[in-house]
Chain A
Amino acid sequence: MDLHQKDFLTEVLNIGLGRASAALSEMSGSHVNLNVPDLTICKAEELPSKLTLFGDEAVLAVRQEFSGILSGDAILVLSKFSGQILTHRLFQELLEPDHLEEQIESAVTELGNIVINHFVGSWSEIFYDRFRFGVPSYNLGALAPLLAERRGQRQGMYAIYAEAHLDIPEFFVMASLITLFEQSSLEKLVGAVTETG
């Protein structure tokens, strides 16, 4: 992928991230800082060794499949602390301390669903194609095994690891979005970039 292609792809991701951060901001009621994603493109099986953000710590991750002109998985990753903070922000007075873990799962899963739908859904306006989404799944644990799990399911997937932080400094919340594309989708994406000149 040359510089122009990478630049286009960064812009595509940026548009999605803009929508995703707007949704997160509306849900949390706080300003969300968004950085320009630093793209790492590699085979999915190589991804765990490239992760720097969360290391081996247990994280909350919501994974959702999408399909359309581009197909793959998007994963929203939060530190446990960030998940707890956001759950309190989202549930507000509806929070039941006796069911905290269950409510964290419910709130973070829905948060992931909304953020990923806004992230990927915005591409429909770029590619004039509709995307369909799977049911989001929630995972608690280290990120590397979660990503490695994909190897058995979909050989040949490419990972576009956008170290995009959707941070809410007010509450020390840190989130990251990872996108895994099937190889054919990445080729289509590169083709679309090339066509735009």
Chain B
Amino acid sequence: MGLALIRYVWNDPTAKRGKKGTIVAKVLIIDDSGFQRKWIAKAVEALGHDTVEAADGQQGLELVEREKPDCITVDLNMPNMDGLQFLANMEGRNQSAPVIVVTADIQADTKTQCEELGARAFVNKPFKPDELQNALTACLTKQLKRSE
């Protein structure tokens, strides 16, 4: 679905960001913590990607429809609609944008449940920027290969 928005800059000499051969994607960040949204955005934008932000799962779903992101990061513990509900909703909508769960919850069962609900990666807070960046790049690369 959102994959069409992934833009190659391989042959684009006018591209302002991204290196030759890299992917520039739109990443939706869903987290009720403004502090975390800033940190995640900083790590994501350092790779040259664009970001949009939502403060809970409900807002996140609205932005999925409107912004058609290429990848999504989602917190689990949020008001209104939590991350697990968001994942369940995404599954029901047959959305293809990969979802990375970024959570303080360190429990193995939580990770398993997220995977069962379709999460492609799981990053524990506090995270080092490269942990999230590696997960994001892996998800986008895999997504791109699937569409080719």
A→B interface (CB under 8 Å): 19, 23, 26-27, 90-91, 94, 102-103, 106-107, 109-110, 113-114, 117-118, 121-122, 124, 130-131, 133-136
Contacts and interface: CB of A to CB of B under 8 A. Distances in A.
B108 A124 contact: yes
B22 interface: no
Q: Which residue, B33, B108, B109, has most C-beta atoms of chain A within 10 A?
A: B33
B33 A113 contact: yes
B35 A90 contact: yes
B143 interface: no
Contacts of B105: 117, 121, 133
Nearest to B42: A94
Given A124-B109, A133-B105, A135-B77, A23 B38 contact: no
A62 to B, nearest CB: 11
A90 B109 CA distance: 29
Given A114-B104, A122-B106, A130-B110, A91 B36 contact: no
Q: Which residue, B39, B77, B103, B104, has most C-beta atoms of chain A within 10 A?
A: B104
Nearest to A109: B33
A103 to B, nearest CB: 7
A135 B78 contact: yes
Main secondary structure of the interface of A (DSSP, over half): helix
A111 B57 CA distance: 21
A20 to B, nearest CB: 11
A135 B104 contact: no
Contacts of B20: none
Nearest to B78: A135
A8 to B, nearest CB: 21
B104 A91 contact: no
Nearest to A107: B35
B33 A94 contact: no
A91 B38 contact: yes
B21 interface: no
Nearest to B109: A130
Listed from nearest, the 8 A-B pairs whose CB atoms lie closest are A117-B104, A106-B35, A110-B33, A114-B104, A121-B106, A130-B109, A106-B34, A27-B126
Interface string B25-43: 0000000111110110010
Given A107-B35, A114-B104, A130-B107, 13 more contacts: A94-B39, A103-B35, A109-B35, A110-B125, A113-B33, A114-B125, A117-B105, A118-B106, A121-B104, A121-B106, A121-B107, A130-B109, A135-B77
